[in-house]
Chain A
Amino acid sequence: MSKFKPGGKKDEPEVSTASLPDIIFMLLFFFMVVTVMRESELKIKVKTPQATELTKLQEKSLVNYIHIGRPTKNYQEQYGTSPKIQLGDKISDIEDIPLFLENHKASVPEKLQFKITTSLKVDSDVTMGIVTDVKEKLRKSGQVKVNYSAKKRTEDL
């Protein structure tokens, strides 16, 4: 019964680590929310060109992506080496674009539909022929807001 030990050595108070998991969990949730798992694997090589006059695309849900590029090594046997269009996760034809746009449109509230932007992620090695065809198809489908996806240019021309 020595509750009050005069001169008894006091235990060093430890830093409580009990709140550490909470902090870590908070970080964890943040990253879980922010993470976007890339939903579609790219079957084509897309290395966007560099530019200086860039605008950032704001709302991801209002953007649909059209990738244009040459099939990667694994898919060359199947699709050849000429430039192809990828919509979502499969290589498609130009004729599939209106349906693709329509499908995306359906997932957007009606009030915001006029804000839909199509981001063209085009490989810099591709020639304009296929890009022109896609642009024409977009115009015919009434999708005129287009973004030529590009990276920030660091070096001079």
Chain B
Amino acid sequence: MARVRAKDRLKNEVNAGSMAAIAFLLLIFFLVTTTILEDSGILVKLPEWSDDPPPEAQINTRNIYSVLVNSNNDLLVRKTPMAVRELREDTKLFITNPSNDPTLADSPKQAIVSLKNDRGTSYNAYMEVYNELRAAYNEIWDEQAQIRYGKNYDDCTKAEQKGVRDDFPLVISEAESTNFGEES
């Protein structure tokens, strides 16, 4: 009998089986609470603040693509109403001006997109419009990268991207918003 007991004592081990259960419990807790939150959005660089009024620049109206979103979330592009759906193509047409239309931009370098909104414009509408303007530029860059280097803009090197961007600079100028439809 004594011999058996000694043997038993030797076999004494912490039962690791339940350890797995405990670890599982913790694991499940963390699995449930984890939110691998990833923030994405439209990255913009705001203009630096200056107290001086901006210099009066004489810009030919053909080079300005004025976009207005009013407090009813209606879109007015170069004084004509437009649906957001059409904005992207129209912007691209304005910037690249493939047929040298005298009413569209002289050259992509001189093109300026001017965005104006009311204080009562909904953020959603503003973002839709801004997104389309950005998309227009992104598509132009992509097309140019395809023509020049035969690959997507995102796959180009930094220098190549810069070359494309310099020829088609992204200029979205935002005017002071007007005090229309401000809600309390």
Please report the C-alpha to C-alpha distance between residue A146 and residue B181 in the assembled complex, in whole angstroms: 25
Given the interface pairs A21-B23, A24-B24, A49-B127, the reply to whether A148 lies near B44 with Cβ below 8 Å is yes
Contact B122 A125 (CB under 8 A): yes
Contact A27 B27 (CB under 8 A): yes
Given the interface pairs A144-B47, A148-B42, the reply to whether A24 lies near B127 with Cβ below 8 Å is no
Q: Which of A5-13, A50-58, A88-96, A105-113 contacts B (4 or more CB under 8 A)?
A: A50-58
In the complex, the chain A residue whose C-beta lies closest to that of B44 is: A146
Q: What residues of B have a CB within 8 angstroms of the CB of A3 in the complex? A: none
In the complex, the chain B residue whose C-beta lies closest to that of A117 is: B43
Contacting residue for B27 out of A28, A55, A63, A124, CB 8 A: A28
In the complex, the chain A residue whose C-beta lies closest to that of B119 is: A129
How many of chain B's residues have a CB under 8 angstroms from any CB in A?
A: 51
Contact A49 B48 (CB under 8 A): no
Given the interface pairs A31-B27, A51-B42, A146-B45, the reply to whether A37 lies near B33 with Cβ below 8 Å is yes
Interface presence of B40 (CB below 8 A): yes
Interface presence of A101 (CB below 8 A): no
Given the interface pairs A55-B42, A139-B47, the reply to whether A131 lies near B135 with Cβ below 8 Å is no
Q: What residues of A have a CB within 8 angstroms of the CB of B181 in the complex? A: 127
Please report the C-alpha to C-alpha distance between residue A63 and residue B36 in the assembled complex, in whole angstroms: 16
Contact A149 B183 (CB under 8 A): no
Contact A52 B131 (CB under 8 A): yes
Q: What residues of A have a CB within 8 angstroms of the CB of B47 in the complex? A: 139, 144
Contacting residue for B43 out of A27, A140, A147, A157, CB 8 A: A147
Interface presence of A35 (CB below 8 A): yes
Interface presence of B55 (CB below 8 A): no
Contact A51 B41 (CB under 8 A): yes
In the complex, the chain A residue whose C-beta lies closest to that of B134 is: A53
Contact A28 B30 (CB under 8 A): yes
Min C-beta distance of B138 to chain A, whole Å: 6
15 contacts across the A-B interface (CB closer than 8 A)? A36-B37, A38-B37, A48-B41, A51-B41, A51-B42, A117-B43, A119-B41, A120-B41, A122-B123, A127-B119, A127-B121, A129-B120, A136-B49, A149-B40, A150-B42
